[in-house]
Structure 1
């Protein structure tokens, strides 16, 4: 695995109507639960990864600025690597929403 250098600065990030566009992801994995059931009835547990907020208490999903030279999927994947050190497959787009930073 190669070292990753995080992108810095906001001068190459996308903006729309004066608002910075960000992308993120919800990293998750399925874990098999061994509860004595037969293989046909194997249960799965979903584990979700959240990261500590740098600006105060709380947890959040990896997210960050959408760069001009990236597709939104590339931004989501890059932020997962930069902020949580995880890689995975993008399953589906969950949607878009507005939020205001503190």
Structure 2
């Protein structure tokens, strides 16, 4: 009987108090948490584009503000704000020398 009064009752009282105070209306709910950052590009490689002027499109999706930059003047990259799909326009200028060339378009977000 001493065990119950000296140990078990205080422990049960402490646990009951912790359980009652563990939840409150001030706790953040899962839906209140910010969205995890993401950045996706639907198509990342365009091969055998040809020698004439050509315009290519791909889709960029992100939870952050996106910036784009091309490594070469003959390949222009522009992010279109008025559409969700095919919103990255790549304009590849004509290749009069018909030599193989490669450009890198960097898509980034903080």
TM-score (norm 1): 0.21
- Specify the structure having the higher radius of gyration (Cα): 2
> Quick check: which one's helix share is greater?
2
TM-score (norm 2): 0.20
